[in-house]
Amino acid sequence: MSNKIPKHDKVIKSIGNKVQYYRKMKGLTQEELADKINKTVETISNVERGIFGVKIETLFDLSEALQIELSDLFVDVKVKQGSKSAKKIKEIINKISAQNDDTITAIDKVVSEICRVVVEK
């Protein structure tokens, strides 16, 4: 018997992580997001934790409430698992995701400048 997580479970968890990320970016509580899409806080919590799949209608409602494209919930940045960079990137993303919009914009500018300078070297 394999301990491998089914691909659809990974997708459900990934979508949940993205919902939580964008919700926090918008400065919304689970309750506020639930109100915006006429769902319960429990539903939002379950979605964010990847407890169950989400109906496409709910995904549309979430993307609208979060002011993102539906596709943003499915896009994943690929980093080779187990690489030294993977852990560090995850840590950085977790730190940034808790910040407000202005701080994230400032961080984006700094990172873009660093990447530009590194590419020029």
Q: Is the pLDDT of residue 77 over 60?
A: no
Give the pLDDT band (50/70/90) at residue 91: confident
Q: Is the pLDDT of residue 1 over 50?
A: no
- Give the model confidence (pLDDT) of 61-72 as tens digits: 999 999 988 888
Give the pLDDT band (50/70/90) at residue 115: confident
Q: State whether 69 and 84 are in the same domain.
A: no
Q: State whether 71 and 22 are in the same domain.
A: yes
- Give the model confidence (pLDDT) of 37-68 as tens digits: 999 999 999 999 998 888 889 999 999 999 98
Q: State whether 82 and 104 are in the same domain.
A: yes
Q: What's the CATH number where 28 sits?
A: 1.10.260.40
Q: State whether 46 and 70 are in the same domain.
A: yes
Domain that holds residue 66: 1-76
Q: State whether 1 and 53 are in the same domain.
A: yes
Q: State whether 67 and 8 are in the same domain.
A: yes
Average pLDDT over the chain reads 82
- Count of structural domains, the chain: 2
Q: State whether 93 and 42 are in the same domain.
A: no
H-type helices in the chain, by residue range? Answer: 7-25, 30-36, 41-48, 56-65, 84-97, 101-120
Q: State whether 15 and 71 are in the same domain.
A: yes
Q: State whether 57 and 4 are in the same domain.
A: yes
Q: What is the dihedral of CA 63, 112, 88, 33, to 10 degrees?
A: -20
